[in-house]
């Protein structure tokens, strides 16, 4: 009787120990991550979390499990700046880019699109550049079409950005560079129902407002913002059933060619913030920590990855991808070019933005 009781008691203890050990592992992993900015942890991931595709959190504060890579080269696209390892997204995002690249060619956009940053393999904050692009549902597209001769990996590091604006004028599109095809390509990107917003420079938005003769409703999705003069930004809405994805407010009705655009042509967005000479110096903003992100992001960071990049590279329907063999491609070690997507220091972000941004 006594021995039986003992053996019955031993099993839960053994189980408890197993749990305790597992728990200790989790705690130690979390402890080692503590204090390190989330951008370092997410920026260091080479491959995605192997899981069903799930964005967690919002575009500027979140992460993604189950991201897939767009092949570095496709029939109608090339991914740029490969060394950044930011060609990862929700499979719906990658599928959309493939579709858009074909539609762009139909519109006369060279031999396809040049794709800038999408997200890091597990999303999350980045060491450089964007505040958003964190959940695999944002992608940057160059205002430069893919040339007929494919760019080499090195050329994709080095190719300079071409701004669509006149250098010496305030918020003015350069007529020598901007064409109807540019307009059609941007509007095409906005026309897909799963696309919620397109971000362009205010000068480009104004150009579209002044010249677009087609459906005006779709123009409302095209939103003015700083930068975005050498590339435009496609933002998809949260995919169906993605419970962890935090949606943005809907774009206001109308074409957006209104006060919210006129505001950009005032001094306010471009003025230096007023300083109170008596104010204490503001504390240095604390870098975003894992604990600031949705809880699931700690798991996304710890989750197992796939055995190879190839396994998680998107395979376009029915197509052999000239570059998918390039899954074995190793990003060249080259000096990074200057961050093109960062806001220049002389352009402070104003405290208030018009609604709907």
Q: Which residues bind Zn ion (CB under 5 A)?
A: 140, 233
CB 90 within 8 A of CB 55: yes
CB 333 within 8 A of CB 83: yes
Burial (CB count within 10 angstroms: exposed 0-12, middle 13-18, buried 19+), residue 324: buried
**CB-wise, 146 or 228, nearer to Zn ion?**
228
Q: Minimum distance between the CB of residue 200 and Zn ion, rounded to whole angstroms?
A: 11
Q: Minimum distance between the CB of residue 43 and Zn ion, rounded to whole angstroms?
A: 16
User: Which residue shows structure tokens 């000096």?
Assistant: 335
Residue 281 to residue 324: CA distance in whole angstroms: 52
**CB-wise, 136 or 324, nearer to Zn ion?**
136
Q: Minimum distance between the CB of residue 332 and Zn ion, rounded to whole angstroms?
A: 23
**CB-wise, 227 or 269, nearer to Zn ion?**
227
Q: Minimum distance between the CB of residue 227 and Zn ion, rounded to whole angstroms?
A: 8
CB 79 within 8 A of CB 194: no
**CB-wise, 288 or 326, nearer to Zn ion?**
288
User: Which residue shows structure tokens 């006129």?
Assistant: 262
**CB-wise, 175 or 336, nearer to Zn ion?**
336
Rg over alpha carbons for the chain, rounded to the nearest Å, is 23
Q: Minimum distance between the CB of residue 233 and Zn ion, rounded to whole angstroms?
A: 4
* CA 159-161-163 angle, 5° bins: 155
Q: Minimum distance between the CB of residue 136 and Zn ion, rounded to whole angstroms?
A: 13
Residue 93 to residue 308: CA distance in whole angstroms: 21
**CB-wise, 24 or 343, nearer to Zn ion?**
343
Q: Minimum distance between the CB of residue 327 and Zn ion, rounded to whole angstroms?
A: 25
Residue 96: CB partners within 8 Å, gap ≥ 6?
Answer: 192, 194, 195, 234, 236
**CB-wise, 81 or 233, nearer to Zn ion?**
233
**CB-wise, 140 or 309, nearer to Zn ion?**
140
Q: Which residue is nearest to Zn ion (CB)?
A: 233
Range 110-144 burial, b when 16+ CB lie within 10 A, else e: ebbbbbbbbbbbbbbbbeebbebbbbbbbbbbbbb
Q: Minimum distance between the CB of residue 231 and Zn ion, rounded to whole angstroms?
A: 7
* CA 79-182-134 angle, 5° bins: 40
């Amino acid at each position: 009787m006594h021995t039986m009781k003992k053996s019955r008691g031993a099993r839960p203890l053994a189980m408890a120990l197993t749990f305790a050990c597992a728990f200790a592992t989790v705690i130690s992993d979390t402890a080692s991550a503590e204090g390190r900015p989330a951008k370092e942890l997410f920026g260091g991931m080479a491959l995605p979390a192997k899981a069903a595709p799930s964005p967690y959190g919002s575009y500027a504060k979140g992460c993604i499990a189950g991201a897939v890579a767009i092949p570095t080269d496709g029939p109608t696209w090339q991914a740029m700046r490969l060394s950044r390892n930011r060609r990862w997204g929700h499979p719906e995002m990658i599928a959309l880019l493939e579709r858009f690249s074909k539609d762009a060619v139909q519109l006369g956009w060279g031999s396809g699109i040049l794709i800038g940053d999408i997200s890091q393999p597990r999303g999350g904050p980045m060491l450089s550049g964007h505040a958003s692009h964190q959940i695999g549902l944002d992608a940057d597209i160059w205002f430069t079409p893919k040339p007929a001769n494919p760019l080499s990996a090195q050329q994709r590091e080095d190719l300079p950005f071409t701004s669509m604006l006149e250098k010496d004028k305030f918020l003015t599109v350069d007529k020598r560079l901007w064409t109807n095809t540019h307009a059609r390509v941007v509007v095409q990107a906005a026309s897909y129902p799963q696309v919620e917003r397109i971000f362009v420079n205010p000068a480009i938005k104004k150009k579209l407002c002044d010249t677009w003769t087609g459906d005006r409703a779709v123009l409302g999705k095209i939103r003015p913002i700083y930068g975005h003069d050498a590339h435009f930004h496609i933002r998809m809405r949260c995919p169906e059933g993605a419970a962890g994805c935090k949606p943005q407010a809907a774009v206001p009705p109308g074409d957006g060619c209104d006060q919210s655009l006129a505001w950009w042509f005032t001094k306010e967005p471009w003025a230096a913030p007023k300083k109170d000479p008596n104010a204490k110096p503001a504390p240095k903003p604390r870098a975003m920590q894992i604990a600031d992100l949705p809880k699931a992001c700690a798991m996304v960071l710890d989750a197992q990855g796939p055995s190879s990049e190839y396994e998680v590279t998107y395979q376009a329907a029915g197509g052999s991808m000239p570059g998918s063999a390039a899954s074995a491609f190793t990003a060249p070690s080259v000096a990074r070019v200057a961050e093109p997507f960062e806001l220049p220091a002389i352009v402070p972000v104003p405290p208030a933005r018009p609604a709907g941004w």
